[in-house]
C-alpha cells in the first residue's frame, strides 16, 4: 500500500477519489484539540452502574461519571492507495488502465501518463 501526497486530483481511470490516510482513536478521555483535521467524532457518556438486588437482579444507570471520545484524525494532505502509484485509487483501476492501453495499442513513455499511439513520431 502506497501513501503520500497525491499527484492528480482524481483517479485517472475511474475519476474516483483517493482514500485519506488517517488514524482512528477510541475511548480517549478528552476531545482532540490539535491542528489535524478531526472527523467522525462521537462522545459517549459513561454512568456509574448500580446493581439492584430484589427479586430480579438488574443494573440501572446511576449518576454521570465521565465521557469518552472517539475520533479520526487526518493531516489534510496524505492519501493512501493499494496501487503502486499515486495516479490510481486502487490496484484494480491500475490494471484496467493497463489493459485498456494494451487493447488500444497505446503506450506510456517515461514517468508521464501522456498517451502516444505507436505510429506517432513523438513516441519513437
Give kind and range of the element (H or E) at residue 90.
none
pLDDT value, residue 26: 92
pLDDT value, residue 111: 54
Rounded to two decimals, what is the model's pTM? 0.59
Average of pLDDT values for 21-38? 90
Listed in order, strand segments (DSSP E) in the chain are: 2-5, 19-28, 37-53, 57-81, 106-108, 115-117
**Domains of the chain by residue range:** 2-87
Q: What's the chain's average pLDDT?
A: 78
Which residue has 484524525 as its cell numbers?
73
Grade residue 123 by pLDDT with cuts at 50, 70 and 90: very low
For residue range 43-89, list pLDDT tens digits in order: 988 887 776 777 776 777 777 788 899 999 999 888 887 766 778 88
Helix (H, G, I), strand (E, B) or coil at 59: strand
Amino acid at each position: 500500500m502506497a501513501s503520500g501526497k497525491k499527484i492528480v486530483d482524481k483517479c485517472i481511470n475511474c475519476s474516483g477519489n483517493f482514500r485519506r490516510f488517517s488514524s482512528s482513536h477510541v475511548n480517549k478521555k478528552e476531545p482532540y484539540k490539535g491542528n489535524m483535521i478531526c472527523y467522525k467524532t462521537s462522545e459517549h457518556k459513561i454512568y456509574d452502574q448500580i446493581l439492584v438486588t430484589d427479586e430480579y437482579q438488574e443494573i440501572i444507570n446511576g449518576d454521570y461519571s465521565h465521557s469518552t471520545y472517539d475520533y479520526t484524525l487526518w493531516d489534510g494532505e496524505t492519501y493512501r492507495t493499494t496501487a503502486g502509484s499515486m495516479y490510481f485509487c486502487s490496484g484494480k483501476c491500475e490494471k484496467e488502465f493497463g489493459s485498456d492501453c494494451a487493447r488500444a495499442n497505446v503506450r506510456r513513455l517515461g514517468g508521464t501518463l501522456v498517451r502516444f499511439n505507436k505510429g506517432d513520431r513523438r513516441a519513437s
